[in-house]
Each structure stands twice: as structure tokens, then as C-alpha cells.
Amino acid sequence: MKVAVFSTKAYDKQFLTDANKSNRHELVFLEERLTDKTAPLSTGFRIVCVFVNDQLNESVLKVLAANGVGLIALRCAGFNNVDLRVAEKLGLVVVHVPAYSPYAVAEHTVGLIMALNRKIHKAYDRVREGNLSLEGLLGFELHDKTVGIIGTGKIGKVVSKILFGYGCKLLANDLEPNPSCLAIGVKYVSLDELFIGSDIITLHCPLIPETYHMINAEAISQMKTGLMLINTSRGGLIDTSAVIDGLKSGKIRYLGLDVYEEEPDLFFENLSDTVIQDDVFARLLTFPNVIITGHQAFFTNSAMVNIAKITVSNFTDFQEGKLCTNQITTKLVVR
């Protein structure tokens, strides 16, 4: 089947081509991000394959449906960028890759915690310049610190297990407790209790209307002074302006982000020769106690192999008219 692969990077082409070895599907790789402007490129395709920052709003979905597209295959887990209600009304099937390697994101999360705590980013630069002073590099031990995990699904569970290994005390908030987390002593509490009691807070729930800006000025006011906040889930979970105020006041002492609410105009591109126009993002970059990575938590070899394999099998299920187990419907997300 003919597939338009939007937002293609060299690595997408490599992994998807490998997974489509039998050449069962005709993959057409497009560098363009799917937006209102580029939606007409879907003409002649039954499937569009998209990533985290492609826009699947009402107007784009209408163009896709009018062009004869039947399947929207997300090559990622999150699906906050798709208007599912409109897709359903238009008869468009939406599939994603629900699980490919929770370890990839969980390990990156702990990597951010450790880098911020032991100031590895600063030490790297210093040592290369011949500065071997330890002034300003004082860290803390994770052992006995309380970490609050919001969302203990596939990724949050792995984060809990890794941090359990560090000897952390673990608090969690989720709609339902995860038995694997309960088994290692994770204590489920209300969001307020988690905000009040945690030294580190890490976000692993989806971005849905109920979780939009869950970390806002009111939430931050409840948190411990000197808190570390980590977000490797979705940018919209955080009200960035409130977090900047928290950094300026010292309430938030460390911030680690792999995602950013306005990332579609910034991430996955080399902007080193341009002037960044997003003043909020530019402000974040000025803080010495902030580490930002550009949505790379998923980016490991095994994760890319799994994403490509599952994505191609999603194409095949659709081609064969099978009910795809990875289909997302509004019934699944509206609770």
C-alpha cells in the first residue's frame, strides 16, 4: 500500500525501510511536517505515517479524508496531536505504537536526574577547558530522597524500578495503582500529597485535557523549595511561564525537559545558525540549572527497530482489513 511518511529524518528512512524489507508497502518519504499547508501532499495515498509534531487538527483531517486517506499511523506512543473525535467522524482509522521500549524513555529520565544533580553537563565543559575545580559541583545522594512519579504506566513503572534500585522513597499518582509498583513499595497518594512530599517530581502521564498544565503556579506553590522537576512526557503538562517563575524564585532548583509545549516549531531541526524567536524557550536556555534535550528520550536503537516493525505491521493490518490492536478510539481515552 502507498504510504506518505511525513516528518522524515534519515533515521526514520533507515529503520522503516529495513522493517519493510519485503517491499510490501510503497513508502514515500517526505521531509515536510504535516500541517494545513502540507496536507495536500497526501493526495494519492491511503496511509499517512506521522510523528509527534505533525498536526492532525480538524482542517488537516478533512483534507486527508477528502484525498482518500484511510489510515493515520503514528510512529510514536502519544497521540495528543490528533483530534480523535474528528478522525472518527470522518471514518479515519488512527493507530499508534503503544509500547516499543519503555526502558528508552525511563533511562533517559534517570539520566536527566543524575546529570542535573551531579552537574555532569557543567563538569564536561569545565574539564575540557582545563578547569578541574569542584566549586559549584556539589550534588546530593538519591538514596533516601522522595521521588513523586505522576503516571505509573509502562514508562513510569520502569522509572519506579530504577529509582527503587537507587534506594529512593517512591510516591505515585495515577488513576489506578500499578501492581508492579505496589510490589516494590510505591505509595499511591493524591496529587497534592505528591507535590508536598517529593524532592523530585517526574511526569509520565499522557497529555489529555485533564492533565493540561497540571504543573502550574498553584501546584508549584505546594512543592518543596529546592525541588527537581523532570518532564519526558509531553510539553503541555507544564505551564512553562509558571515554571520559569519557580526557577527565578528558587522554588525549583533543577529542571530537566525532553519535551516543550511549543516544540513543533523548534525540535528535530538544526537551528544553530538561526535566531530563536521563542522568548520563553530562550529564557529557559539561560538558566544554569536547566537541561533540555530535544525529544530524544525514545531514541535508542531497540526502540527505533520496534517502532518501525510495529508501524509496518500496522500498515499491513490495515491493508488486509484486519482490526488493528493498536487502534486508538475516543472510547479508549475518554474516561
**Is 229 one of the binding residues for ligand NAD (CB under 6 A)?**
no
| 118 contacts: CB under 8 Å, gap ≥ 6 | 137, 139
Other beta carbons within 10 Å of 237: 24
Q: Is 263 a catalytic residue?
A: yes
> Cβ(32)–Cβ(38) under 8 Å?
yes
Q: Is 31 a catalytic residue?
A: no
Among 137, 175, 184, 271, binds ligand NAD (CB under 6 A): 175
Cell reading at 34: 504535516
Among 148, 153, 236, 256, binds ligand NAD (CB under 6 A): 153
Among 160, 168, 295, 314, binds ligand NAD (CB under 6 A): 295
Among 38, 160, 233, 311, binds ligand NAD (CB under 6 A): 233
> Cβ(33)–Cβ(8) under 8 Å?
no
**Is 261 one of the binding residues for ligand NAD (CB under 6 A)?**
no
**Is 177 one of the binding residues for ligand NAD (CB under 6 A)?**
no
**Is 77 one of the binding residues for ligand NAD (CB under 6 A)?**
yes
Minimum CB separation from ligand NAD for residue 119, in Å? 23
Which secondary structure element, helix H or strand E, spans residue 169, and what is its range? strand 169-173
Q: Which is nearer to ligand NAD, 199 or 258 (CB)?
A: 258
**Is 234 one of the binding residues for ligand NAD (CB under 6 A)?**
yes
Among 148, 151, 236, 256, binds ligand NAD (CB under 6 A): 151
Catalytic residue among 85, 295, 320, 335: 295
Q: Which is nearer to ligand NAD, 45 or 79 (CB)?
A: 79
Q: Which residue is nearest to ligand NAD (CB)?
A: 153
Contact region with ligand NAD (CB under 6 A), list: 22-30, 58-66, 205-213, 249-257: 205-213
> Cβ(37)–Cβ(79) under 8 Å?
no
Q: Is 218 a catalytic residue?
A: no
User: In terms of residues, how long is the chain?
Assistant: 335
Q: Which is nearer to ligand NAD, 39 or 50 (CB)?
A: 50
Minimum CB separation from ligand NAD for residue 106, in Å? 9
* Per-residue binder mask for ligand NAD (CB under 6 A), 8-37, x = binder: ------------------------------
C-alpha distances out from residue 168 to 76, 87, 212, Å:
30, 43, 28
Catalytic residue among 263, 283, 320, 335: 263
Instruction: Please name every residue paired with 255 in a beta bridge, in sequence order, or none if there are none.
Output: 229, 290
**Is 297 one of the binding residues for ligand NAD (CB under 6 A)?**
yes
> Cβ(148)–Cβ(169) under 8 Å?
no
Among 42, 55, 173, 311, binds ligand NAD (CB under 6 A): 173
C-alpha distances out from residue 29 to 9, 150, 335, Å:
9, 36, 36
**Is 155 one of the binding residues for ligand NAD (CB under 6 A)?**
yes
- φ/ψ of 58, rounded to 5, equals -55, -45
Give 3-state DSSP helix, strand, coil % of the chain, rounded to 5.
Answer: 40, 15, 45
Kind of pairing between the strands at 252-257 and 290-292: parallel
Following DSSP, what letter does each residue of 65-97 receive, concatenated? HHTT--EEEESSS--TTB-HHHHHHTT-EEE--
The amino acid that residue 313 corresponds to is S
**Is 314 one of the binding residues for ligand NAD (CB under 6 A)?**
no
**Is 298 one of the binding residues for ligand NAD (CB under 6 A)?**
yes
The cell 528508552 sits on which residue? 104
Residue ranges binding ligand NAD (CB under 6 A): 77-78, 102, 105, 150-156, 173-176, 204-207, 210-211, 232-234, 258-259, 295, 297-298
Active site residues: 234, 263, 295
